[in-house]
Amino acid sequence: MTTKTIFLALLAAIMFSSCSSSTIKKTTPEIATQENQLINKNDAASIGQKIWMNEGAGKEKNLTFWDKDQNFASLGIGHFIWYPAGIKQADDEQFPQFLEFLQQQQVELPNWLQNTPDCPWNSHEDFYKNINSRKMRSLRKLLKDTIPFQVQFIIKRLKQALPKMMAVLPTRQQRTYVRQQFERVAQTPMGIYAIIDYVNFKGDGTSEKERYQGEGWGLLQVLENMSGNSDNAIAEFVLAADYVLKRRIKNAPKDESHWLVGWRNRLKTYTY
């Protein structure tokens, strides 16, 4: 499947979801099946390997992670959030949605995951105490074996990103400009990967919670800051991303400068 074909399928799905409703509705099994046809398994596996290298150095152990400063597990190449029972949920919980998506695609889950809505480990300490348990090993195997499906699930979330961005932009001129930049990037050889990875990496930019001094760093802000006047859209995307990430560091309440080298190394993967 060519990049142009992937782009046209993705854009058609995005346009449909943008026009059909102003709200994000739960995806039905039928729509999930259609989404699984947007890119073939080989393309999804290739994109997934790149994201896995970015997120976890391609190491299986990094597919199951719990940051010591957070109250949830982060799983897979998309760092899908999974909360223990009784924990206040400040962020969108994606892992149960991903399990539902796998079941819609007739992927067989380990028995213990088939009826487990909550993360069975209740803290960072408990998680790593059980890091080599039977359940944890089976979870890592599932995540390793379903990387192409994780990419499809991320694409499903990406399909929601453009309508969300359109909804928060106040003027038609701004909406037109952002859509044009999205289309320019998506039609480049590495564009689909870049957009998927950046949303996975820094979000879509629509959340008011993801702001320092009123300025965000997600996909929306990158598209807004593209120059829009060159023949190399992906190079513009990388420059704009570098700008908004440096602006984040400048605006941050705490020093985040130590992240910049890693962020820039990730952006470089969009160009080759």
Distance of CA 182 to the CA centre of its chain: 16
Q: Which CA distances in Å does 25 have to 21, 63, 156, 241?
A: 8, 28, 12, 29
Q: Is 29 helix (H, G, I), strand (E, B) or coil?
A: helix
> Going by DSSP bridges, is the β-strand pair 73-75/80-82 parallel, antiparallel, or unpaired?
antiparallel
Distance CA 92, CA 164 (A): 15
Tell me: pLDDT of 241 over 70: yes
DSSP 8-state symbol, 27: P
Q: Is the pLDDT of residue 250 over 70?
A: yes
pLDDT of residue 38: 53
Residues 245-254 have a mean pLDDT of 96
pLDDT at residue 90, as a whole number: 58
**Is the sign of the CA dihedral 236, 207, 37, 112 positive or negative?**
positive
For residue 134, the Cα-to-chain-centroid distance in whole angstroms is 28
Q: Answer with the residue of higher pLDDT: 178 or 203.
A: 178
pLDDT at 33 over 60: no
The H-or-E segment that residue 176 falls in is helix 172-186
pLDDT at 28 over 50: no
Return the structure tokens found at 34.
Answer: 């259609």
Query: Taking residues 119-141, what's their average pLDDT?
Result: 97
- Phi and psi at 73, nearest 5°, equal -85, 150
148, 43 Cβ separation under 8 angstroms: no
CA-nearest of 53, 35, 10 to 201 is: 53
When mean pLDDT is compared over 17-26, 49-58, 257-266, the highest value belongs to 257-266
User: Nearest CA to 126 among 71, 198, 56, 58?
Assistant: 71
Task: At 81, give phi and psi (nearest 5°).
Answer: -75, 140
User: If you count them, how many residues does the chain have?
Assistant: 272
- Give the residue among 108, 99, 201 at the shortest CA–CA distance from 150: 99
Confidence of residue 91 (pLDDT cuts 50, 70, 90): low
Confidence of residue 170 (pLDDT cuts 50, 70, 90): very high
Place 199 in a pLDDT band, splitting at 50, 70 and 90. Answer: confident
- Specify the range with the lowest mean pLDDT, choosing from 12-16, 69-73, 263-267: 12-16
* Distance, CA of 141 to CA of 190 (rounded, Å): 28
